[in-house]
Amino acid sequence: MSTSLRLGVAEFRARPGRALLPGVALVVGVACLLAALVLSDALSRSVDEGAPVTPSAVGHVVNVRPSEYGVDTVEATRPKLDAALLTKLSAIGRAVPVQEVRADLLDDNGRAGEHRAEVHVQQPDLARWPLAEGKPPAADNEVAVDKITAYERDLKPGDKIKLAAADGKPVDVTVSGVMKKGGMDSRPILVAGPELAKKLDPQPETLAIWVIGGSRDAVASAAGASFVVFDPDPDANKIGNDLTFILLPFSVLALATAVFVAAATFRAVYAQRQRQTALLRCIGAQRGPLVRRSLFEAFVTGSLAGVGGALLGGPMAWLLARTFDLTGISALFGAVQLSPDLLPSLGYVILGVVVAALLSVVAAVRPAINAARVSPLAALRDADNEVPPRSVRRLRLVFGLLFTGGAALLAMLAIAAKGTSAAPISVTFSAIAAVTGLFWILGPVTVPFIARLFGKIGGTQWKLAGAEVRRMPQRSASVALPLLLASSMVTFFLVVLGSAQEMTYAYANEQRPDATVVDAGGRPLPDVPARPEVDASVVLHQAENGAGVDPEQFKTWLKAQNVSGADQFVAGTAIVPEHWSDRPFAENDGKQYEVVGTVPGTLTGYTPIFGGLTSGPAEKVLVALKPGVDPAQFRANLQAALPNNPTVIVQTDADERAEADRYMHLGTVLMMVLLGLSVAVAVTGIGTALTISVQERRKELALRRALGVTQGGLQGGVIAEAIMLALVGVIGGGVLGFGYAEIAILSTGIDMSLPGLSVVLPLVIGAAAVVVLAVVAAFGPSRGASRIRPAAGLASG
């Protein structure tokens, strides 16, 4: 063992750069892992610190017994947390309802938005929501706002905002404080006192009842068997480390990529010192000490990489946090301006060192064993290339074709079993088999073949780069494989997301009104003034099981929308959505209406339309615009004509498409950022491979300099090799990911078309970014190549 340690230490002293080279990818991989953990900690801390708390004065909480009254229970049969129950509990102690109302937060133009605010009612002496700044609302005209709303609207304590009261009239209120809680996906959350809440909504929803004083048995007896009484849990609304599982899988994927890169680098490093190993074998060294020496080196390399990765984890987490803020992803989690720790805790440093050391040893095991098997006779010859024996090549071809054929068979089975649970399983195993067969087993054949295609489109530098890829096919395949895997996953997820968006577009493009006028809070609509942009419109009146309309007005509007199916529609009959076409009658308020036609549900909100039933309040106006009219301009004109009705909003077809685009954009950015961690790790493999390649080819590069090649020419050759390896990984992975995305879409049995430019553009941008990263990774090796002096290089062994 001591001999192994001395040999390992000697290697570090003689060539520290070469010994530490396999740890470069592990540094980035561990940094990704700890960045995910540190950012998840900050995210969980941000969400948990804003979670509602139960004041210490509260002794008991009363709620509906969940085991008997689930979410599917008919509302009419559910027990009520009503005034009668409150009166019973007040006989035991102070009973305080925990209530919530909905309200409309008006923007700077005094108009309501699509998403209503969630307003929590808080008693002045029972603060439930922690504040980041300011004070709890005390007066009737004060509210606390969530931190996302404060961030997006630049609000601070003392600022004025407007809410819409229950009658739709604006109410001026003052921001008393900013909550630590953030609204999910930018949906506003407010805290208000009881009096203001009554102005906003006279019918609040009671979530629970707090009881201060009295024994638990007395409270339970007063509440009755339909309700459960429990002691307050201070951590009931905290999520703990649940958010870790959102980011952790992607960092683990990056770490797995680092292991692939490290294993390829170990293999190259051990091959580079093949003569030394063979000479040691000649003088009697046994395989065991040689393997232990290599594993000891790997352990030291991994430990140092773990320290480096731990130190980089904090800054990387900070960069991810700023990226999430900039792109709007943070708001999806209810957090913003996260401040992850720049320096990791001691526990995270130890975790990074242990993980990196362990994975480094795992990555080095197989290369170390293979290196120790070298024959002593190998000391007498130089291996200028990697040409395995004919038997190995034949065995590789057989297994590669078997895995590739199995992948094709599983893909066909997935398509044949579309719509079943077996389909996604078949797609997954088919993809694994395809990668294993084409790029792992047959990688030394596939990668040089792709590189040969690129070599034909460039000049001399490209041809020389292609020759180097073919000279070391095993190494080139090992370097390209991690990048190919990362590229294929990015492509797969983006194409699937894009197809889902196209399906959303198809839904959004179904027949629907050009514009729909509604009240954001479901209030009765005022008289909507006539507009010159309108071709036809119809008022939908509130009814028990649908909506009532004037038949002639409805038919005129349908005609303007180019929709048929209501020719027989008169008073006393009904028009129903298409999926109700098998019903002969539609019932409303105990009266049956004969069904005389159908229309798409997207036109009317999937509710029956009753002819002649116009006594109810107006709840919706469906509008058909004249050709060429801009819906956004119609919205602005109509809202300007209704200055005293700030909660009247206009929904258009473009709004739904814009919402779909927004979620697609966020999903694309999130996937590209998180999967980009694996891409960044994979690109480090290109840098390490080129470093080793330059060291091996000192004589060749010196000869080029002696023959007149400039320093820039040598640099260009190394950079061309980096770009070629990057393109092999990006294009090979892109084709694989695109193909399996299409197979996955076909296997679902859902009619989804392939995405267009919305997906192609991010992929092209991502590919360009990978090439740029590859050029950056090649900068060090290319500079090293350009500094080789002809005389010294030709004299080196």
**734-793 confidence digits (pLDDT tens):** 889 888 888 888 887 766 665 656 667 777 888 888 888 888 888 888 888 888 777 665
At residue 395 the predicted structure's pLDDT band, cuts being 50, 70 and 90, is: confident
Residue 693 to residue 465: CA distance in whole angstroms: 11
Average pLDDT over residues 13-30: 76
CA distances from 38 to 51, 237, 310, 630 (A): 20, 22, 10, 48
Higher pLDDT, 692 or 202: 202
**103-148 confidence digits (pLDDT tens):** 999 998 889 988 899 999 999 889 999 999 999 998 889 999 999 9
DSSP letters, 409-429, are HHHHHHHHTTTSTHHHHHHHH
Contact, 372 vs 62, CB < 8 A?
no
Residue 188 to residue 114: CA distance in whole angstroms: 11
Q: Supply the DSSP symbol for 527.
A: P
Please, which residues have CB within 8 angstroms of residue 425's CB and are 6 or more apart in sequence? none
Q: Supply the DSSP symbol for 113.
A: -
- Indicate if the pLDDT at residue 12 is higher than 90: no
pLDDT at 71: 46
Residue 557's closest CA among 511, 526, 519? 511
pLDDT at 72: 47
Higher pLDDT, 193 or 334: 193
> Checking phi first, is residue 197 left (phi over 0); if not, alpha (psi -120 to 50) or beta?
alpha
Higher pLDDT, 158 or 764: 158
Residue indicated by tokens 């909003």: 649
**527-536 confidence digits (pLDDT tens):** 888 889 999 9
The DSSP bridge partners found for residue 61 are: 210, 230
52: Cα separation from own chain's centroid? 27
At residue 541 the predicted structure's pLDDT band, cuts being 50, 70 and 90, is: very high
- Indicate if the pLDDT at residue 377 is higher than 70: no
**665-699 confidence digits (pLDDT tens):** 777 787 778 778 888 888 888 888 888 888 777 78
Residue count of the chain, please give it. 797
- Indicate if the pLDDT at residue 384 is higher than 60: no
pLDDT at 745: 83
**548-604 confidence digits (pLDDT tens):** 999 999 999 999 988 888 888 999 999 998 877 788 888 888 899 999 988 888 888
Between strands 131-134 and 170-179, the pairing is: antiparallel
pLDDT at 507: 59
**463-500 confidence digits (pLDDT tens):** 777 777 777 787 788 888 888 888 888 888 888 877 77
pLDDT at 387: 56
261: Cα separation from own chain's centroid? 25
629 is written with which tokens?
A: 């009219």
pLDDT at 353: 93
Q: Which amino acid is at 670?
A: L
Residue 788 to residue 773: CA distance in whole angstroms: 24
**263-291 confidence digits (pLDDT tens):** 888 887 777 677 777 776 677 667 777 78
Q: Which amino acid is at 152?
A: E
- Helices marked H in 201-243: 216-223
Higher pLDDT, 419 or 179: 179
pLDDT at 548: 93
Contact, 189 vs 149, CB < 8 A?
yes
Which of 229-233, 510-514, 538-542, 688-692 has the lowest average pLDDT? 510-514
Which of 64-78, 100-114, 406-420 has the lowest average pLDDT? 64-78
Residue 621's closest CA among 750, 519, 767, 751? 519
pLDDT at 73: 47
Q: pLDDT over 70 for what percent of the chain?
A: 87
Which of 319-323, 518-522, 714-718 has the lowest average pLDDT? 714-718
Orientation of helix 287-327 relative to helix 2-14, angle to 10°: 50
- Indicate if the pLDDT at residue 49 is higher than 60: yes
pLDDT at 456: 67
pLDDT at 795: 63
pLDDT at 311: 92
**211-255 confidence digits (pLDDT tens):** 999 898 999 999 888 899 988 887 767 765 565 667 778 888 888
Domain boundaries in the chain?
Answer: 1-49+253-308+355-380, 60-230, 442-511+653-797, 524-646
Average pLDDT over residues 51-61: 90
Residue 50 to residue 334: CA distance in whole angstroms: 10
Residue 189 to residue 602: CA distance in whole angstroms: 30
Higher pLDDT, 705 or 721: 721
Q: Which amino acid is at 191?
A: V
pLDDT at 794: 62
* pTM recorded for the entire structure: 0.76
Average pLDDT over residues 695-716: 80
Contact, 173 vs 160, CB < 8 A?
yes
pLDDT at 68: 52
DSSP H or E stretch at residue 610: strand 609-611
Contact, 508 vs 656, CB < 8 A?
yes
